Amino acid sequence: MSSERLIYLPLGGAGEIGMNAYVYGYGKPGKERLIVVDLGVAFPDMDTSPGVDLIIPDIAWLEQRRDQIEAIFITHAHEDHIGAVAHTYDRLRAPIYTRKFTANIAKRKMDEYGHPEDAVTTVAPWPQQTTVGPFTVGFLPMSHSIPESSSLVIDVAGDRLIHSGDFKIDMTPGVGEAYDPELWADVSKDGVKALICDSTNVFSQNAGRSEATVGPEIEKLLGTAQGMVVATTFASNVARVKTLADAGERAGRSVVLLGRAMKRMVEASLETGVMKDFPPVVSPEEARGIPRENLMLLVTGSQGERRAASAQLARGKYMGLEMKEGDMFLFSSKTIPGNERGVIKVINAFSEMGVDIVDDSSGLYHVSGHANRPDLETLHDVVKPQILIPMHGEHRHLREHAKIANAKGMKGVLAVNGMMIDLSGNEPKVVEYVDSGRTYLDGSTQIGAMDGVVRDRIRMALNGHVTVTVIMDENDEALGDPWVDAMGLPEQGRSKTSLVEVLEADLAQFLGRANAKTLRDDDKLHDGLKRTVRQSANDEIGKKPEVTIVVSRLS
C-alpha cells in the first residue's frame, strides 16, 4: 500500500557547477506528477570533452516520464539554468514558465531551433502563483547577477518548499530586484518544509558587497585613464554593464557595445523594461571617428573565450577598432576556475601591445552574484526550513553547506545528481538512485558522454592515428605491400628515417611471415597488423598510436 509522496531529484547541478536541472514530484510512487526547475548547460573543455559544443543533462529519466511532467520553471536566464530548454524541447515537450526578461531570452532560443515560442508562458512575480497539477508555484524576486532572477515558492500537498535559485543578498543591486527581507519573512512565516539552496560561495567567509559599491570605484579608475578604456563583464550581468556604461558616460566617454551577447542583453533588458534607461551608444563605425581618450568599449569575453570580442581585440583589430599603448583593459569580472589559461593569454597579448590591465585582484571592480557564507546564513535564518538541501555546487560545496545546516539545527541533506529524496515523512530519505549524467551536443547531434566517441578523440589527441591498408587477393595473399598513413605523429624517430616507411616495412615483414590461417582470418589479420604497428611505433617514437586497419579482399 503506497500513499502519495513528495520527491526531490537533481539531474544536474548537484555535484558540479553547471547544467542545473532539478525535479520535484508528488503522487503515488512511480506515478508522481513532476515539475522541472531549470534546464541548463555546462561548457566543454579540451581535457574531458574536446570537440563538444555544449553539455546538457541526461534527461532519459524525464523523457520516459514525459506524460507525468506538468511544466518546466526557469528561475533566471543564465546559460547554466536556461541553456538546454531548446535542446531538450523535442524530447520533453513540456510548457515552460518564467518571468518576462527570462521568457524573452527563452523565446529567442526556441525560435533559433525552430520550436514554438508559445511553449514559453510569461508569468508575473509573487504574489502571482501558477498552479500545475498538484503544484502551485510563485516566482519570488531575488537579487543575483542577472535581472529578474527568482526564487521559487513551491506549495504542494500542504507543504511549502523554497527553491532559492541563484542569489545574493543585495539591497541595492542596480538593475534587477533587491533582496526584500520582509517579503521573505512573509512567505516563510507559516513554516517552510525545505529550502533547496544555492551553495556556490559557501567557502567565502565574508559577507558579500553590493553591486552599488562597484560604480564609484570604476568612476575613480576611469579618472586615471589616459587612452581608450575597454571593459569586460558577463553580458548577462546587465546591472554591471549599466554601471560601466554610466561611469563611461560621466567620464565624458562615448560608449560602444562589442560582441553579440552584449548588444542582445542590453536590448532584451530595455525591451522587457527591467532596465529603464541606458546611456546612448555609438557604433564601432562611429567610434573610429572619436578620439580614443573619449571612448569606452564594453566587450564580451571576460573568460578569455577565443571568439569573444576581448580575445579578438587581443589578436588585433575587431570591428575596425584596436588597442594601443596607453589604453586600459578592465576585467570587471572573476575568472571561473578552469578558464585561467584563456584569460592569461588575453592579458599577455594586451601586455605586448602596451595596454594596462586592471583585474579584480584588488576586489574593487567586481562583486559576486552568489551569496557568501554569512549571506547564506541570512537566508537560512529568515526561512527557517526544517530541511536544507544544498544545490548548485560541487560535492565539496554541498557537503560544507549541509554541515552548516546540521550545525544550525536544520536537517542538512547531501543529495547529488541522480539521488531521489523522499521529503514526505519526518526524516528525508534517499529512495532511489536514478541514472543521471551528461549528454553532449556535438555539432548537430546529441551523444552520451559515455558512448566512447569523445574517449576516442582524446586517444587520437594523445597518441596520434595510423591507417593501415592491405589488399588481399583471391588466394588470400597480400597484393603488394601494406600502405600506411599517419596523422598527428612525428615524421621520424629513432632510426632517423620516415616513420611511415619503417611501419610499412615491419608490416610487410609481418605479412610475409604470417601463416595461411592468419591471412584468411580477418580478426587474426587485424590483430596482427595492429599489434605490429603499435610495437613498431613504440620502438621508433615511444608512442602507441590509435590504429585503423582496412583489409580489402578481392575474392
Site residues (vs its own copies, CB under 8 A): 15, 45-47, 50-51, 203, 337-338, 340-341, 344, 347-348, 351-352, 354, 357, 361, 394-396, 399, 442-445, 447, 451, 453-454, 456-458, 460-465, 467, 469, 471, 479-480, 483, 485, 487-494, 538, 541-543, 546, 548, 550, 552, 554
Q: Minimum Å distance from CB 395 to its own copies?
A: 4
In the complex with its own copies, which residue's Cβ is closer, 71 or 221?
Answer: 221
Q: Minimum Å distance from CB 348 to its own copies?
A: 4
Q: Could you give the CA distance from residue 296 to residue 255 in angstroms, rounded to a whole number?
A: 5
In the complex with its own copies, which residue's Cβ is closer, 263 or 457?
Answer: 457
Start-to-end CA distance of the chain, whole Å, equals 67
Q: Supply 292's cell numbers.
A: 580614443
Residue tagged 511553449 (cell numbers): 119
Query: What is the DSSP code string of 6-74?
Result: EEEEEEESEEBSS--EEEEEEESTT--EEEEE----B---TTT-TT--EEEE--HHHHHTGGGEEEEE-
Query: What is the DSSP code string of 302-316?
Result: TT--TTSHHHHHHHS
Q: Minimum Å distance from CB 142 to its own copies?
A: 27
In the complex with its own copies, which residue's Cβ is closer, 155 or 217?
Answer: 217
Burial class (CB in 10 A: 0-12, 13-18, 19+), 554: exposed
Backbone phi and psi for residue 89, each to the nearest 5 degrees, phi listed first: -60, -45
In the complex with its own copies, which residue's Cβ is closer, 384 or 553?
Answer: 553
Q: Could you give the CA distance from residue 163 to residue 72 in angstroms, rounded to a whole number?
A: 14
In the complex with its own copies, which residue's Cβ is closer, 291 or 480?
Answer: 480
Q: Minimum Å distance from CB 182 to its own copies?
A: 34
Q: Tell me the three state secondary structure of residue 202.
A: coil
In the complex with its own copies, which residue's Cβ is closer, 209 or 465?
Answer: 465
The strand order across the sheet containing 483-487 reads: 483-487, 465-472, 546-553
In the complex with its own copies, which residue's Cβ is closer, 489 or 529?
Answer: 489
Q: Could you give the CA distance from residue 163 to residue 388 in angstroms, rounded to a whole number?
A: 10
In the complex with its own copies, which residue's Cβ is closer, 68 or 303?
Answer: 303
Q: Minimum Å distance from CB 78 to its own copies?
A: 20
Q: Minimum Å distance from CB 465 to its own copies?
A: 6
What contacts 497, CB < 8 A, 6 or more positions away?
A: none
Q: Minimum Å distance from CB 445 to its own copies?
A: 5
Contact by Cβ (8 Å): 468, 486: no
In the complex with its own copies, which residue's Cβ is closer, 99 or 544?
Answer: 544
Q: Minimum Å distance from CB 341 to its own copies?
A: 5
Q: Minimum Å distance from CB 158 to its own copies?
A: 35
In the complex with its own copies, which residue's Cβ is closer, 116 or 490?
Answer: 490
Q: Supply 59's cell numbers.
A: 534527461
Residue 473, CA distances (Å) to 175, 232, 515, 551, 553 in order: 75, 65, 15, 11, 6
Residue 182, CA distances (Å) to 168, 185, 267, 299, 382 in order: 16, 5, 32, 37, 9
Q: Tell me the three state secondary structure of residue 229.
A: strand
Q: Could you give the CA distance from residue 67 to residue 70 in angstroms, rounded to a whole number?
A: 8
Q: Minimum Å distance from CB 336 to its own copies?
A: 9
In the complex with its own copies, which residue's Cβ is closer, 183 or 471?
Answer: 471
Q: Tell me the three state secondary structure of residue 406.
A: helix
What contacts 10, CB < 8 A, 6 or more positions away?
A: 21, 22, 23, 391, 415, 416, 417, 418, 419, 436
Output the 3-class SS for 437-490.
CEEEEECCEEEECCCCHHHHHHHHHHHCEEEEEEEECCCCCECCCCEEEEECCC
In the complex with its own copies, which residue's Cβ is closer, 215 or 482?
Answer: 482
Q: Minimum Å distance from CB 537 to its own copies?
A: 8
Q: Minimum Å distance from CB 451 to its own copies?
A: 8
